[in-house]
Every structure is written in C-alpha cells, then in structure tokens.
Amino acid sequence: MTILTSDTLTLPAPLGGSLVNRVRHLQPGETAGLPTLELSDRAYADLEMIATGAYSPLSGFLGEADYRSAVSGMRLADGTPWSIPITLMVSREEAGQARGTVALTRAGQPVGLIEVSEQYTPDKAVEAQEVYRTTDPAHPGVAALMSAGEVYLAGEVTLFDVPRGAFPAHHRTPAEVRSVIEARGWRSTVAFQTRNPIHRAHEYLQKVALELVDGLLLHPLVGSTKGDDVPADVRVKAYEVLLDKYYPASRTLLSVYPAAMRYAGPREAILHALSRRNYGATHFIVGRDHAGVGSYYGTYDAQEIFSAFTAQELGIQILKFEHTFYCKTCGQLVSPRTCPHDGSHHLVLSGTKVRELLRAGEDLPAEFTRPEVAEVLREGYSRQ
C-alpha cells in the first residue's frame, strides 16, 4: 500500500465539492401555523449530520431515485458514492399532514424545517437485505428500520442551531473541525471511528497511524446505540483521561461524532469514511469487523467493500489493519502479521468477560487497557 506523506496532502475537498451548511437561527414566529413532525433520536441525528455538512453532498433526506440507487448500488442517482440511504420515515397518518414546509420538532419544540418535495413507499425487505445483508429482526439496524414509519419523506432541510448536547467542549461541526486542522497546520489527518472505550489494541492502531500522518482525529460516535453499548458519557470521560496522559496534545483532537449507529458493517464503514472526508480527514482507519454486530459480517468484509470505489471517488485513504492483541510471549501488542505464536500465547478478553470484571469492581489487565481507562469504566458500571 502506498502511503501519502504529510508533504503531499492537505485538507480534502468535501464530497460533492463544497460543504453543505443548512444551519441558521429560528426567527420569531417562523413556525407558527406550520404542520409539525416530531423527530426520533435517529432522525434528529440525521438532520444535524445533513445540515452541518457531515453528510455532504446531501442537503436533505433522500428522494426515491437517490434512495433506490443507494440501496441497490451504493451510489446516489448521479453516481456519487453513498452506501446507506438517509431517509425520514413517518407513518401514513403523519405523511398525510406533511405538505410543503413542515416544522421538525423535539419534545414539541421546533428544531428545524423540511421542504417536503416527495413522498414514497420503500421496499423495506429489499433495503434490509442490501444494506444490512440480513432481514433478521434480531439485527438492531433491521429492527430500527422495520419499526419505523412506512412512508419516506424527501426534501431539503434546515437546522435551527447545532445541538451541542452533553459534550459542548468536544462537539464540532465539520467546518469547525476543518478550522482546527488548518490552525494546527496538519497536512494529513487520520480519523478513528469508535463506539467503544479505547483499549490498548485501539491505541496501538492509532499510534501506528500517527507515525504516518500529522494528526489524529479521535471521533467517537455519540448518537443512539444499542442498550448494552457503553454509555457515551462514560466513553468520553475515558477518552479524555487516555489522551491527557498517553497522547501528544498537539497531534490529537477529540471531537464527538453525533451520528446514530446503524450497525450496518461494511456499508456503514463506507459512510463513516466519506463523512470523515467531509470533516477534513485525509486517512481513515478500518480494522476488524468495523461497525459490525453479532456474526452478521465477515471479519474483514468492511475492508474489502472499499474495492467497489476508486481512490479518487473516495477522496480519503483507507488504512486497513488486522486484529491486534497482546502476546504474552512477544511481550507487546502485535497482529497476525507480526506474531508467530498461537492463541494460547495471546491475551484475549471477550466483551462479556470485561463487563463481568468491571461490574465486580475488579481490575482489567494493564496489557488490555490503561488503568486510568479501567477506573473510569469501573465507576461507570458501578452506577448501573
């Protein structure tokens, strides 16, 4: 694999050529008399991602032509790479009221607008099979799809102010992240997607990547996740203590990624990479079972799917890493590429075992996670 150095790279152009910005302040009385639509957690996250440019070139929820093209061929109707349809799902009753300009609400308060240009009925079974590679209702992404409304609304959106949420110090739009990268003079930036605490294996991947580029964008997803995932506030605190002690401050940036998790494995890996291009990253790490859940996807399917696109189309360089772990005989973190020993030499803890140790207030091995991270996780589990 050819690695481009910091001497040859700079901020990439957003997908589509320019960064979408559909954020503004609510004007007094602006939504008075408009039909309203209450957004789900996922729809609200999608609204923010569209309006701030994280999902450039989208300026609204997908129309039918783009939807069907994305489902069947991982591209918008004009050929732009796009692997997951970003749609606004509503009930038939809600669709009957959704005409023209509709006020989008959360807890009854206006948070944005949609200019409804189209309504259509999807084939959810086909969407599930193509996007998630399964129609199994036990899959969290399939379950969310099937339980949502049966009509899709399309149209351009407006967001009334960016919701900084629980992490205002770390909540940045793509334009704001790009500004930080430029201010720091990074000519190359590697983004790391995570919905989990960072263990030593993740740290190893990030620091290997930092040997190749100028900066690391640690970009944890803080939108809605499965109920058994570590809560976002616990994870962010763990990231903070880890970066404070073990990473060079001038070369790392912690910034939250407000998207909702879909658990679409390979398809979601593409979306994660394209959106990080919009945030200004030149490189993106894809490791083992990226965005996966259960046993629905092969170990490296999320790496192989990128071959469907040219490097020019992606506009971001994919760094593919194999599974990493601590080898007791090698005495360090390794991968199958660098370790000659079989599994009996390796320290491997399942997620179930980690949760059992934390709930019991026991220590995690230092070879598995930093003690400061383990303490944050232990405190978090003690509150459950």
Annotated catalytic residues are 195-196
Q: Give me 240's structure tokens.
A: 């903070």
Whether 345 contacts 42, CB under 8 Å: no
Whether 263 contacts 42, CB under 8 Å: no
Annotate 13-56 with DSSP letters as a single string: PPTTSS----EEPPPTTTTTT--EEEPPHHHHHHHHHHHTTTTT
The CA distance from 257 to 225, in Å, is 12
Looking only at the bridges linking them, the beta strands covering 36-38 and 325-327 are unpaired
Looking only at the bridges linking them, the beta strands covering 151-160 and 252-254 are unpaired
Alpha-carbon Rg for the chain, nearest whole angstrom, is 21
Q: Give me 384's structure tokens.
A: 């459950």
Whether 219 contacts 191, CB under 8 Å: yes
Residue 353: strand, helix, or coil:
helix
Torsion of CA 371, 374, 380, 383, to 10 degrees: -90
